[in-house]
Amino acid sequence: MSRLDTVELYRTGAAAKIVLNRPDRMNAWSTGMAADLLSVLGDLASDDSVRAVMLTGAGRAFCTGADLKDAVTADGATMDTDRILIDWYHPIVTAIREMPKPVISAVNGPAAGAGVSLALSADLVVAKESAYFLLAFVNIGLLPDAGSSLFIPARIGFARFAEMAMLGERLPAPKAADIGLINSSWPDDEFEKNAEALLTRLSNGPTRSYAGTKRELNHWMYSGMAEQLALEAQLQGEVARSQDCAEGIAAFTEKRPPRFTGH
């Protein structure tokens, strides 16, 4: 095991497990966690002795999106979205998609906001039955980012993505599996055992075959990924400066319903 401030890495033979380790913040993205995760992903991508990777979370959450304490600008009014997306989120999801070995997301609890994007950037996604997926952006006046506007429609299409993005409602893991957003939803008491077995299977498999399959998928489904990520950052930057976003952040901080005006 190796440990950074916010990420733990475990190695067993050719298998590597990354654990997001901010359980007190439900593994919300911070710049520190993003830096640690990007460093670990780079090391694993270049290490030929690693043949499969699993990403999961410590505690009761997988990742609940951006940590507003870290992401809100100094005046407390807007999200510093451009810097965060371009400097941290985009390199991370790109590193996962381009890693020449299979990556599993083992969603052990809530995946919200950019946490959904992080989970779905992997090749295979499995989850506890008690977990859920939530595009929470709309609830604070923002829009999907970090690749979710690409990863979700690629998996389940226009209609379901529009529903997730515009209604901002929880999608339970069993339903996520039923509609094809994720691969499997397992009973909580079987989750860890099954996820570890899947990681071991892939780590013992034909790594170059897996890498070629990823390249095929990336070419067919995600060839416009860089352009889409850039569009997300641009649009998010514009929306983050809106009155509705300021109201959404204030309402979230004050734990009250937001009063949006459309401006």
* Residues in Cβ contact with 35 at an 8 Å cutoff, skipping those fewer than 6 apart: 88
pLDDT digits (tens, 9 = 90+) for 26-62: 999 998 999 999 999 999 999 999 999 999 999 999 9
Query: Which among 225, 173, 215, 194 has a CA at the least distance from the CA of 54?
Result: 194
* pLDDT at residue 233 in the model: 93
Give yes or no for residue 84 having a pLDDT over 90. no
Q: Is residue 263 part of a domain?
A: no
Q: Is residue 81 part of a domain?
A: yes
- State how far the Cα of 218 lies from the Cα of 216, in Å rounded to an integer: 5
- State how far the Cα of 146 lies from the Cα of 190, in Å rounded to an integer: 30
* Average pLDDT of every residue of the chain: 94
- State how far the Cα of 94 lies from the Cα of 126, in Å rounded to an integer: 20
Q: Is residue 145 part of a domain?
A: yes
The whole domain housing 164 covers 2-189+206-254
- State how far the Cα of 22 lies from the Cα of 108, in Å rounded to an integer: 14
Highest mean pLDDT among 27-31, 93-97, 235-239: 93-97
The model's confidence at residue 76, banded by pLDDT at 50, 70 and 90, is: low
Give yes or no for residue 223 having a pLDDT over 70. yes
Domains identified in the chain, total number = 1
Q: Is residue 200 part of a domain?
A: no
| Residue 244, number of CB atoms within 10 A of its CB | 18
pLDDT digits (tens, 9 = 90+) for 202-220: 999 999 999 999 999 999 9
Q: Is residue 194 part of a domain?
A: no
pTM listed for this prediction: 0.93
Length of the chain: 263
Q: Can you give the CATH number for the domain in which 111 is found? A: 3.90.226.10
Measuring CA to CA, how many Å separate 255 from each of 103, 134, 248, 249? 36, 18, 10, 10
Q: Is residue 196 part of a domain?
A: no
Q: Is residue 50 part of a domain?
A: yes
* pLDDT at residue 2 in the model: 72
* pLDDT at residue 112 in the model: 97
pLDDT digits (tens, 9 = 90+) for 142-189: 999 999 999 999 999 999 999 999 999 999 999 999 999 999 999 999
Q: Is residue 262 part of a domain?
A: no
Q: 83 or 117, which is more confident? A: 117
